[in-house]
A and B are shown apart, each in its own frame.
Chain A
Amino acid sequence: MKEELFVSGRNIPNIDPFLKIWHWQIPLYLFLGGLAAGILFFAGYFVVRGKEKEMQTAVKWAPLLAPIALVLGLGALFWDLKHKLYFWQLYTTIRLESPMGWGAWTLMIITPLSLIWVASYMKEIFPWWDWKFKLLDKFEAFVIKYRVPLAWVMMIYAIILGVYTGILLSAFNARPLWNTSILGPLFLVSGFSTGLAATIWMSKDAAERKVLSQIDLVFIFVEIFLIIHLFMGFLAGSETSIEAANLFLGGPFTVSFWVFVVLLGLVFPAVLETLEIWGFHVPKWLPAVLILFGGLMFRFIMVEAGQITRYLY
């Protein structure tokens, strides 16, 4: 028998017996970040592709959510800081190696970008609105003029943001479950998928929904593929990564992960979306809600389970 235990000194709240430094705020932050990234990416994408007219919701309406999500996400992050009064220290240095720092700066850039984007559609969204300030009108005209370059910039930052939500975890080699480069693309894809789901839910245009659903299906399949890869990678790895994978293969997270994230959050909505594309009537909110919920669950589970996995003890 092998027995390993702390004989003295260790019973630190939130660290022992399992790490629980990051609570609900971080997964929520990651979820909102991914969601915003998805929305903004496709808004940019359809503008670049010149589909502004066909994809009204994706381009104009859904982006309204993005700054809200980003601000809420930042709020969650701030909430989680234990030394809040020193928050400003984040912006006194640029530390490229620090994913946290990276994220803070990315958000610092993409949040204003998304605001500008939304602002540029303000007139179209609220035609009765009168801006009163001449300067703002000028600024708006300027933005509208450069919307396509703006779209490019936004798409790039959306990808960075999406990848970042995964890298924030995968940068931590110390947690075997996160110690895999698949998390970056996986979170990116999952984030985009939630962004699409939110847009689908908002869209009143069946044609637009169909296009979006088709894209979403691709993302869902890629996501499932990445998840399978993730586990194959773990199982082929060291003892600690096998232990990490076992949390999901018979361990405490098995049901929540495979039922809520994979079945209800990916497979089932994929089926629903396919059915809808085939012309069956499916309430449009259903697959969207499932995907969003699945995405949220996914982040919660990854953050919580990842903190449980460790090299020692």
Chain B
Amino acid sequence: MKTRRDFIKISTVGVGAAAISYKALGSKGFGLFESKLEGPVSDEDLTPYPTYCEVCFWKCAAWAYVDKKGRIRKVLGNKNDPHCNGRLCPRGTGGVGMTYDEDRLKTPLIRETRNDGTQYFREASWDEALNKVADKMKEVKEKHGPEAFGLFNHGTPGGQFHHLLRAYGSESNAEPAFANCRGPRMSAYFSTFGAYVGSPESTDIRDTKCLVLIGSHIGENMHNSQVQEMSEAIDNGATIITVDPRFSTAAAHSSFWLPIKPATDIALIMAWIHVLIYEELFDKDFVERYTFGFDQLKEHVKNMTPEWAYGITDIEPEQIRRTAKEMAGAAPAVVIHPGRHLVWYGDDTQRARAMAILSALLGAWGKRGSLYFAEGIKIPEYPQPHYPETKWGWRDWNGDKYPLATMGITTELLKASIPRLNYEHQVKAWLIAGTNLPLAMPDKPLFKEAAAAVEFIAVMDTMPMEVTGYADVVFPEATYLERYDVIRSAANREPNIALRMPAIEPKYDSKPGWWIAKQLGERLGLHDYFNYDDYAEVIDWQLKKLGTSLEEMKKIGVKKFPRKSGPLYMGEGEDFEFNTNTGKIELYSVDFADHGFDPIPKYTKHPEPPANFYRLIYGRAPMHTFSRTINNPNLSDLMSENSVWVNPKVADLWGLKKGQEVWLKNQDGAITTFPVKIRVTERIRWDSVYMVHGFGHANKKLSRAFGRGAADTEMITNVMVDPIMGGTGMRGNFITFLKEDPALNRKEAKA
């Protein structure tokens, strides 16, 4: 299908060639006895600038060390920061690579069409690019109302554009962090405890006696302080129970690994609940005092015995009882990790509910070693007018469909952009900031159709990621080490804030997100919402309100405040009002019942792979964040491509060898663009294969990432939607192997 907006590989005429010849010349110098690469520089000769990391959403506070030549030599954790305790994860340490990646977006780009209909990007001045986007925003506002301008946002860059859109009059936004990530647990924990677990999750792993990981692959999922605390827990001799069909890193470090059959977790959790209740191992006092619906729960799980679960999950009844007893023995110092990326099988809110209920039975809420009460600092609002009222927004698409969704749903925003689907409220143009949708969204055909349907797309990114190829205008943002940004404030044990300031001037012709948003705002007559020349003014104003200042924060980076909300944990037998319908922890969810959802989780059987197909499961590699770091020079050094993990039995059956390249094809006939290498390993079951997400970039401008490995996303065309909050369940996809280049076959078929 030929669309109005073909995906273009960013290549600006002329520049490419010039860059190559420069590189060729520059690579060899002639210093005879002089070393070209400097050795280590001692810390005293470097100047540290405070920042917080943007390589993932944990946002660890750090110091960027700059040498006398103005080069950032290294990024080290801020010792005073509870997100990192002075130690960044590999991605944060390799964050310098974000700034020094020579493939970065360097200037604004505008899409042009040649006479023959082919399209390309032309370098443009900031003025031209900003005017173009502002004009389009005015046009859409006039023609369809500001609400028709949608926004996909993620991370701090997304925040700046969110502010812009609100000021402009639109709340039509969605971020992948909800429906593609942790949405299910938000709905589940809110309906159970009337509270969220937050980010960083308020898991007291440091002090726990028993850590239960249901699919959470900490250690590969490198959310920093969590990894650190898991290591502390190991030192403290805590029991770790990991439920994962794959022998994950966490599983390897666990006391118990339950190699579960994928898609059956709810059965296991319900069996645990059964054991706790019927063997009277639960925390009776806690349950009586704080929970609602115990009797219904007891009745509900009556037949959900370990023997019943064994038939479903492959986990021996003995193992189920034993691990339940371990938890009970450690209670209430048990962390049932709520998980983070939970959108697996479409019943994910219910699975997260089951986990919440399990916690409640163990009394593992608000107790040392379970989930603590986090507290954050509210950043004062910089003076500005109220945001204008909107006639409609993301809530209206969720509407009756996903009544318990608390944020915009990405797939709904896509669907609202496709006229064919006849949404009452339709979106006509997009801003995209800080998300690489083609790799982050399942069902790529849907994304492509939506992208082709909208009139206009502007993307703000730092890298020529695949998403920029769909843009009409591309804004090159300065990387996080080159800009001021909003003050970080995330709830933690101790309330705290962190500053991000530029360590160096933005490279190339890139600009900070706040500046881009402000420039657009000014062009749209929204000056009152951007009433500052430099974002530093906003930060300084806010910091002063908080009793500190930009000057002080530049020196310390992180500031902690005393807690005001009371202790970290509940008192013994303390009266406690939960923010739920019943004021109690709802083992039986009144809200769910009201909306026609199962008030107590049920196990539902999900489809299994057909013959010769294998379930595709995916996860993280510790040294990469999604698609964003694959081209990072420091991190691609550690892992430059992904592989598909195959059990030796499967490898034998198919005659697959270690390192052999195959293409994957899924149940719907989708084939990966690039081949991927086989890893033959016992660490994966014979009914599944495993891949690290984020690889398989299709833009040639990403010199290190292009064509390296394959994208799991391309294989995820079946989305198992969570009826409760619209989550995009991605693990109901099955793949098979193509040992020969499918392109050859296609050619042959034509000939």
Contact = CB atoms under 8 A, between A and B. Distances in A.
Assess A/B contact in the complex (Cβ within 8 A): yes
Interface in A1-28: 1, 3, 7-9, 11
Contact of B638 (A3, A8, A85): A8
A3 B681 contact: yes
Contacts of B681: 3
A192 to B, nearest CB: 42
B644 to A, nearest CB: 15
B640 A85 contact: no
Size category of the binding interface on chain B: 10 to 19
Contacts of B623: 8
Interface string A99-110: 000000000000
Contacts of A7: 639
A7 B623 CA distance: 10
B32 A85 contact: yes
B639 A8 contact: yes
Contacts of B682: 1, 3
Contacts of A85: 32-33
A231 to B, nearest CB: 29
B648 A1 contact: yes
B135 interface: no
Interface string B637-657: 111100000001000000000
Contacts of B640: 11
Nearest to A86: B33
A1 B684 CA distance: 13
Contacts of A8: 623, 638-639
A7 B637 CA distance: 11
A221 B49 CA distance: 73
A286 B637 CA distance: 52
Nearest to A1: B682
A9 B637 contact: yes
A232 B640 CA distance: 43
A9 B639 CA distance: 7
By DSSP majority rule, is chain B's interface helix, strand, loop, or mixed? loop
A8 to B, nearest CB: 4
Nearest to B648: A1
B246 to A, nearest CB: 14
A115 to B, nearest CB: 31
B637 to A, nearest CB: 7
Contacts of B638: 8-9
A1 B679 CA distance: 13
Nearest to B635: A8
A152 B623 CA distance: 64
Nearest to B90: A8
A3 B678 CA distance: 14
B272 to A, nearest CB: 31
Nearest to A7: B639
A1 B648 CA distance: 9
A9 B635 CA distance: 9
Nearest to A2: B682
Contacts of A11: 637, 640
Nearest to B682: A1
Contacts of B648: 1
B647 to A, nearest CB: 10
B104 to A, nearest CB: 24
Nearest to B681: A3
Nearest to A9: B638
Nearest to A85: B32
A85 B34 CA distance: 11
Interface in A153-186: none
Contacts of A9: 637-638
B558 to A, nearest CB: 29
A189 B744 CA distance: 55
A3 B643 CA distance: 15
A165 to B, nearest CB: 33
A7 B681 CA distance: 13
B464 to A, nearest CB: 25
A85 B33 CA distance: 8
A1 B623 CA distance: 26
B564 to A, nearest CB: 43
Contacts of B680: 3
B457 to A, nearest CB: 36
Interface string B679-697: 0111000000000000000
A7 B645 CA distance: 14
Nearest to A17: B659
Contacts of B33: 85
A110 B131 CA distance: 80
B32 to A, nearest CB: 6
A3 B645 CA distance: 13
A32 B648 CA distance: 48
B672 to A, nearest CB: 23
A85 B31 CA distance: 11
A8 B220 CA distance: 13
A3 B252 CA distance: 14
Nearest to A8: B638
Interface string B612-639: 0000000000010000000000000111
A177 to B, nearest CB: 24
A85 B35 CA distance: 13
Nearest to A3: B681
A92 to B, nearest CB: 15
A116 to B, nearest CB: 35
B156 to A, nearest CB: 28
Contacts of A3: 680-682
A186 to B, nearest CB: 35
A1 B680 CA distance: 10
A1 B649 CA distance: 11
A3 B33 CA distance: 44
A280 to B, nearest CB: 51
B692 to A, nearest CB: 11
A274 to B, nearest CB: 47
A8 B621 CA distance: 11
Interface in A35-58: none
B684 to A, nearest CB: 12
Interface in B1-60: 32-33
A1 B637 CA distance: 28
A11 B640 CA distance: 10
A19 B210 CA distance: 46
Contacts of B32: 85
A113 B517 CA distance: 81
A1 B682 CA distance: 7
A11 B33 CA distance: 28
A214 B680 CA distance: 56
B29 to A, nearest CB: 14
Contacts of B637: 9, 11
Interface string B135-169: 00000000000000000000000000000000000
A7 B32 CA distance: 37
B28 to A, nearest CB: 14
Question: Which of B32, B638, B640, B680 counts the most A-chain CB atoms under 10 A from its CB?
Answer: B638
B274 to A, nearest CB: 36
A83 to B, nearest CB: 11
B53 to A, nearest CB: 19
A313 B537 CA distance: 56
Interface string A61-96: 000000000000000000000000100000000000
A1 B652 CA distance: 13
A7 B680 CA distance: 14
A8 B91 CA distance: 13
Interface in B324-366: none
Given A8-B639, A9-B638, 11 more contacts: A1-B682, A3-B680, A3-B681, A3-B682, A7-B639, A8-B623, A9-B637, A11-B637, A11-B640, A85-B32, A85-B33
Interface of A: 1, 3, 7-9, 11, 85
Considering the complex of A and B, which 9 residue pairs feature the smallest CB-CB distances, nearest first?
A: A8-B638, A1-B682, A3-B681, A1-B648, A9-B638, A8-B639, A8-B623, A85-B32, A3-B682
15 contacts: A1-B648, A1-B682, A3-B680, A3-B681, A3-B682, A7-B639, A8-B623, A8-B638, A8-B639, A9-B637, A9-B638, A11-B637, A11-B640, A85-B32, A85-B33
